[in-house]
Amino acid sequence: MNSKLFFSKQQFSIALIWLFHVSGLVGIIYSDASWFIKATPVNLLLSFVLLMINTTWSRKTLVLVLLCFITGMFAEIIGVHYGFLFGAYSYGDALGIKFLDVPLLIGVNWCILVFITGFIASFFVTGLWSRTLLGVFLMLFLDLVIEPVAPVLDFWTFESGIASFHNYFGWAVVALPLQFVFHKYTPKMDGPFPFHLFILQFLFFTILLLKINSLGI
């Protein structure tokens, strides 16, 4: 009975994130783009809640979530105000409520990215440093497709217009210790949920990028 309940929870969670991501993508491309972009916070929060629901909880898991959120927010606040971590950039209004000019959802997004890439890395390789480095690589890979779309969606904008090597180096610097702690703590999740969320994030921003390029935006 417990096994059946667990898998039904996984399947329901996966179905929900596919529904929200595909609906958002179709809405942005073919319908009222501004309305669906404003709904981005709901999508991010839903993804985070479902990710946490499907993670086996312990004191270490709670510490890791707080560490990812606080570290991510701290790094972004420094980045926005001083520019030396990621380059000179600022956040738009699409991601909702801000603290010191950084949306609170950015801290949530750092948690999401660390957890899903960490779980995926744990599936493919063994060894603390192998998993850590693969997790960092997967985070950077995803950021590569997010960055060109972010200004169009009013997420954030770099003063130079595009994210430079500076941004990706800064991401790696922040992601490395978070991935290291993740794999030291080894939180548990059985099932394919992290893979689905990673694939959806990649498809969502890649398809939008292709659409933007086709329109010459």
Residue 157 DSSP SS3: strand
Mean pLDDT of the chain: 90
Q: How many CB atoms lie within 10 A of CB 178?
A: 26
Which whole-number Å values give the CA distances from 67 to 55, 93, 144, in the listed order? 16, 25, 24
User: What's the whole-model pTM score?
Assistant: 0.92
Q: Where are the alpha helices (DSSP H) in the chain?
A: 2-30, 33-38, 40-53, 59-82, 104-124, 128-146, 165-185, 193-215
- The per-residue b/e assignment along 128-137, b for 16 or more CB within 10 angstroms, e otherwise, is eeebbbbbbe
Distance, CA of 9 to CA of 32 (rounded, Å): 32
Percent of the chain residues topping a pLDDT of 70: 94
CA distance 181 to 184: 5
| pLDDT score of 1 | 42
- The string of pLDDT tens digits covering residues 31-43 is 777 888 888 889 9
Band (7; pLDDT cuts 50, 70, 90) = low
Choice among 132-136, 198-202, 208-212 with the minimum mean pLDDT: 208-212
Between 217 and 86, residue with greater pLDDT: 86
Distance CA 149, CA 207 (A): 10
pLDDT at 77: 96
> What 3 state SS string does 111-154 have?
HHHHHHHHHHHHHHCCCHHHHHHHHHHHHHHHHHHHCCCCCCCC
% of the chain residues with pLDDT over 90: 69
pLDDT on residue 195: 96
- pLDDT tens per residue, range 110-139: 999 999 999 999 999 999 999 999 999 999
Place of tokens 């992290």: 194
Flag whether pLDDT at 196 surpasses 70: yes
Q: Which residue has the tokens 């993740």?
A: 182
How confident is the model over 143-156, as pLDDT tens digits? Answer: 999 999 999 888 99
